[in-house]
Amino acid sequence: MVSFGSKALPLRRLVGIMGDEDNSHKRSRKKMGMSRKPDKQSNSFDANVNKNGSGRGSQRQSDWETQRAVVRKQVDPETTKYFSEIANLIESNGVDMEERLVVCGNALEEARGKEFELATDYYLSHTMQTLLEGCDVNSLCSFLRSCAKDFPSIAMDRSGSHVAETAIKSLSQHLQDNDVYSVIEDTLNAICKVIVKNPGDLMCDCYGSHVLRSLLSLFKGVPLDSSEFNRRKSSSVLAERLNFKASRADTDISPQAVQGFPGLLDFLVSGMSKCIQNNIKTMQVDQYSSLVLQSALKLLAGDEEKLLQIIPILIGCTREEILEGDSIKTTKARNILYLMKETAFSHLMEVALEVAPEVLYNEMFTKVFRNSLFELSSHHCGNFVIQALISHAGSQDQMEVIWEELGSKFKDLLKMGKSGVIASLIAASQRLHIYEHKCCEALATAIHSSNESSTCIVPRILFLDSYFYCEEKSNWNWPSGAKMHVMGSLILQGVFRFQNEFIQPFITSITSLNADNILEAAKDSGGARVIEAFLSSDASAKLKRRLIMKLRGHFGELSLQSSGSFTVEKCFTVGNISLREAIVSELLTVQSELWNTKQGPHLMRKLDVDGFAARPDQWRSRQESKQSTFNEFYSTFGSSETKPSKNSSFLSDDSKKTSQPNKINQMREEIAHLQASPAPFLSTTGFKRKPNKPEKSSKKFARNSADEDVPKVKKNKSKNIVTDEGTSQSMDKAEKKRHREDVLQKSPKKLKR
């Protein structure tokens, strides 16, 4: 029996100590009034228990019978003293791990019958969290089964919700032990049966909705702290919609970190669906139920059967109507359009369009959105739904409908500040390979008139708000020192991914910027990405080098910035030997500062700055070797439409658009990776070059088809496979000797060893 001889800490200090464990959780809820701080108008322990069992109180007009108010008895002084002593003992680290399990188990046993009172007590709830984190799985499950009937009330309490989520998190951690799966499943089943009797209160409660989302994630087997299925960052959503990131539909939707409970997930979702169907008007516009439903839809992504059950209910239809081809009625379509102007429903529809099965997406596109695209695009909530709709369009026919309604509205949308719709339209055009040229033309026309020079296009897009809010647009100039428009920079990044012939006005504009404007853009996170996108585009190497030259003298300064370092690396990759040497020389002047930055060590290694400082001649030879290797590789495996220019720099593309630009970029990256390590000169580590052959033979080899070359490569590789160790060593020596002779023949001077 463990004694409680330690002196009790003052209660205020105890709360301060234990409150630190949950500060991050409290901060995440602070904006929605979800901190544990009691209401000022009441000092009683019951002040944080909602009268209607809902965090939104009288603001929510429910169509279902509100859960009966639960009156919590105040915890008696003896129990309060006992759990305070337990908290002091644990906080003092006076017990080892085995004793801690016993202490926590005994304390939870003492809480039997008082779970609701203790979990919802502002002070003792912290102690309950500590006990639930430190006990074994049997004590944890026993506690949850004992309070199962009160679980919804605990979850909807300001303090109790933290206790409930701590219990759920502890269960997920215990799931790593397969032997306790059945015990945990029985416990969760008991809780789930209570919840499905009336899930509406939990769904529409600011505290209960968080707990319900955690349960859904646990049932699916998804980590509870995964932002992918809670509130995804807007940057992640934008990257996905604008083709900068693979869609979650094309990747593993829900990586199974722990074993899930698919039966319980189906049971809970079915109960939620019935509740939605009976209270559709409330659920469609409630912000907290919207968050729960968004999480549910993301977790069900890929399960067409379940999605066809729940999404039609959200839009006021049935699964049978969709599958049988019955059109969404006009009255329902008008109601859906109206609801999309509500914040909660618009967020919900974004996710619904993202995960909707094809048959359901097509029906909504045709019967709900068609002929209403511009109307919704003009609305401050509806435009985000249109962005999601465009981003998930799956056919050129759908893109034709979108273009018909929005293709002539670029200028109007930009004036209204709805540039995200245009960015999504450009990305979809590129993805579906339709209206690519027209998109570029429409964007350029919306930014400048026919009697203006195209040099103003890029600056105006970089500062969209500044330009369109300017009353005298003819007198608008580059606003020095202003932050560049996020969506404007994303639009330009998308534009520079089009073919060279489509984006000539944009290329002319960015290469016409003066050195000061280029430097300012490179220092801005959005502007830097635009420069990198241009350097990765199909523009000629000459134009790219012209832009890079305007940054000379500032590469050291840029390399010290987190975003600028990527620009410096891209300039180095695209530049010729002389430009790369100039970049590395500037980095040498800030070498000590660069090593102390987050991105500095990577940049120093990638550009081999130390190698240049030690042996400049050998550094140049390595760069020339990379260029020669790329040319040989490209002539063998590259597109037959394009051959590398004799005067072109390594990794530059003077040539016209190739048929496989993505594959060529991958080739460049692979070759750069093979020779990126600053190995000693004349080293054969990583990539072994063959000795030079006569020029005619090389050209003849370059004309061979890829199908003829691949077997030869495989055959050559097979020759290097030997079984005798001595033979292998002799072949390595011969290869090194041939490589050394090859380099010495190229060098005008005798190299020092």
What number is the average pLDDT over the span 336-353? 94
Backbone angles phi, psi at 413, to 5 degrees: -65, -40
Q: How far apart, in Å, do the first and last CA atoms of the chain sit? A: 76
Query: Which pTM does this prediction carry?
Result: 0.74
Is residue 718 scored above 50 in pLDDT?
no
User: What's the confidence (pLDDT) of residue 401?
Assistant: 96
Report which of residues 380 and 647 the model is more confident about. Answer: 380
Confidence of residue 704 (pLDDT cuts 50, 70, 90): very low
Where are the chain's structural domains?
A: 551-634
User: What's the confidence (pLDDT) of residue 664?
Assistant: 54
Average pLDDT in the chain? 78
Is residue 734 scored above 60 in pLDDT?
no
**678-701 pLDDT, tens digit each:** 444 333 333 333 444 444 434 333
Q: Which of 294-298, 329-333, 735-739 has the highest mean pLDDT?
A: 294-298
User: What's the confidence (pLDDT) of residue 673?
Assistant: 55
Q: What is the CA radius of gyration of the chain?
A: 32
Confidence of residue 323 (pLDDT cuts 50, 70, 90): low
Confidence of residue 40 (pLDDT cuts 50, 70, 90): very low
Report which of residues 424 and 277 the model is more confident about. Answer: 424
Amino acid at position 330, single letter? T
Angle between helices 525-535 and 541-549 (to 10 degrees): 150
User: What's the confidence (pLDDT) of residue 242?
Assistant: 77
Confidence of residue 5 (pLDDT cuts 50, 70, 90): very low
Please, which residues have CB within 8 angstroms of residue 726's CB and are 6 or more apart in sequence?
Answer: none
Report which of residues 429 and 8 the model is more confident about. Answer: 429
User: What's the confidence (pLDDT) of residue 91?
Assistant: 85
Report which of residues 22 and 12 the model is more confident about. Answer: 22
Is residue 26 scored above 70 in pLDDT?
no
The answer to whether residues 171 and 184 touch, using CB atoms and an 8 Å cutoff, is: yes
CA gap 1, 102 in Å, rounded: 9
Backbone angles phi, psi at 251, to 5 degrees: -120, 180
CA gap 136, 143 in Å, rounded: 11
CA gap 454, 468 in Å, rounded: 17
- Which two tokens mark 61? 């007009």
Confidence of residue 47 (pLDDT cuts 50, 70, 90): very low
**553-604 pLDDT, tens digit each:** 999 999 999 889 999 999 999 999 999 999 999 999 999 999 999 999 999 9
CA gap 301, 249 in Å, rounded: 8
Is residue 466 scored above 70 in pLDDT?
yes
**51-72 pLDDT, tens digit each:** 333 333 334 434 443 444 556 6
**201-220 pLDDT, tens digit each:** 999 999 999 999 999 999 99
